[in-house]
Each structure stands twice: as C-alpha cells, then as structure tokens.
Chain A
Amino acid sequence: RKEVEQDPGPFNVPEGATVAFNCTYSNSASQSFFWYRQDCRKEPKLLMSVYSSGNEDGRFTAQLNRASQYISLLIRDSKLSDSATYLCVVSSSASKIIFGSGTRLSIRP
C-alpha cells in the first residue's frame, strides 16, 4: 500500500460545478499536510496548507481528518483555469515528505 494515495481521476466537470478530492495517508505520525497544484509540464506550486481545524481560501476548502487519516480538497464554482493535477503532500518529519501521484482535474466549458 502506498503511503499517500489519491484517486488519479481524471475528474471531468463542467464550469461552475463543485468538485472534491480525497487523499489518504498511512503514517499516523504525519504532521504537516498540503495541497499542491501542478500544471502540465510545469513545476508544482503550493495551493494551500491543510490545518487541523480546516481552512478556506476563496473557492478552495481543505480539511484534515486525523482519525480516518485523510485530507480533502473542495473546489467551489470551478473555473476553466482550475484544470490541473492536484497533488496531496504529507510530511512526518523535517525531511520525510511524501507526494501523492496526483488527481487530474479537467473543467469543461
């Protein structure tokens, strides 16, 4: 079993829709959680950190469920520009950092 697992997708949703992804992790000692976004043939860029109490940034909401060991990302009112691969990232120490394989999202007009 992979340490960080994501549904690879692709998720194909119409513009304006709400879409959500989950990411599960196996190490209960994990401390830091992030969502990164990666466009095709580009480098990953931080979308948002994920805090224990959940956090929101505009149309994006991230949540952490430590009991079930997953994090989630919700995108409301999706835009064409949201089309990308979303990478779940989990860190359990100063150097131990694991990326998921990513979930591909495609927004159609």
Chain B
Amino acid sequence: GAGVSQSPRYKVAKRGQDVALRCDPISGHVSLFWYQQALGQGPEFLTYFQNEAQLDKSGLPSDRFFAERPEGSVSTLKIQRTQQEDSAVYLCASSQGDAGNEQYFGPGTRLTVT
C-alpha cells in the first residue's frame, strides 16, 4: 500500500503569508504526528493526533501554528503570518499505535520563508 504522502514537497512563502501543509497518512493508522526539522537537527515534535482528536499540541512554537485532522485521516498544518524562523522541513508521521510504536514518515515539506 501507499506510504505517507505530503504536499507540497517544496513551498516558498514571503514573510507574512499564510501556508497550509497537507499530510495523507497510511490508511488505518490511528496516530499522526507533525515534526519540524531544522538543518542539522533531529525532528522536533509539534503535535499529535489520535484519530481526529488533537491530544498533544505542546510542541507548536506559537499561536501562529495550527493543525487539524477533522475526519481522522488527512491532516493539515497551517502556519499564519510566516516568519523567517519558520523555514524548515515539516515532517508528518503516522503510526498504528502511539509514540511507543514505529512511525512511518512522509517525505516532508521544505518551507522557505523569504
């Protein structure tokens, strides 16, 4: 079956623009995670969904970041009024279980804010 897909793969935004990043998890995977990965660093946790419920959003860096998964499948990460420090790769991962289980990552969206 298909793996985790993300779109767009690359996004260039001008400072102040809003962006929306999409994640299609593996079908049937209950858990979905969003991460932010800066160059030379490991992925940093942003938020976690179990089905449609956002159970943990403690990693979202500011209130400009918002994530949703309304039907428990596809998820969108929205960043409002983008800033240069938002430039990073945004990774989505899905899992059959919670954080204690193997996560399958999508290819990521590389966001560049100019």
Q: Do A and B come from one complex?
A: yes
Interface residues, chain A, CB within 8 Å of chain B? Answer: 4, 8, 31-32, 34, 42-46, 49, 87, 91, 93-102
Given contacts A43-B91, A95-B48, A95-B56, contact A102 B103 (CB under 8 A): no
Tell whether B65 is near chain A: CB-to-CB under 8 Å.
no
A43 x B33 contact (CB < 8 A): no
Closest to B102 in A: A46
B103 x A46 contact (CB < 8 A): yes
Cα distance A96–B104 when bound, in Å?
A: 16
- Kindly list chain B residues whose C-beta atoms are within 8 Å of the C-beta of A100: 42
Closest to B98 in A: A94
Name A43's contact: one of B56, B99, B100, B105 (CB within 8 Å). Answer: B105
Tell whether B25 is near chain A: CB-to-CB under 8 Å.
no
B45 x A97 contact (CB < 8 A): yes
Interface residue tally of chain B, by bracket? 20 to 34
- Kindly list chain A residues whose C-beta atoms are within 8 Å of the C-beta of B50: 94
A99 x B98 contact (CB < 8 A): no
A44 x B43 contact (CB < 8 A): yes
A98 x B100 contact (CB < 8 A): no
Given contacts A99-B44, A101-B42, contact A43 B102 (CB under 8 A): no
Tally A-B pairs: CB < 8 A: 59
Cα distance A42–B89 when bound, in Å?
A: 10
Tell whether B1 is near chain A: CB-to-CB under 8 Å.
no
- Kindly list chain A residues whose C-beta atoms are within 8 Å of the C-beta of B106: 43
B42 x A49 contact (CB < 8 A): no
Name A31's contact: one of B43, B44, B100, B105 (CB within 8 Å). Answer: B100
A94 x B45 contact (CB < 8 A): no
Can you list 27 A-B pairs, Cβ within 8 angstroms, ordered by A? A32-B99, A32-B100, A42-B107, A43-B105, A43-B106, A43-B107, A43-B108, A44-B43, A44-B91, A44-B105, A46-B102, A46-B104, A93-B98, A93-B99, A94-B55, A94-B98, A95-B33, A95-B45, A95-B48, A95-B55, A95-B99, A96-B56, A96-B99, A97-B33, A99-B35, A99-B45, A101-B40
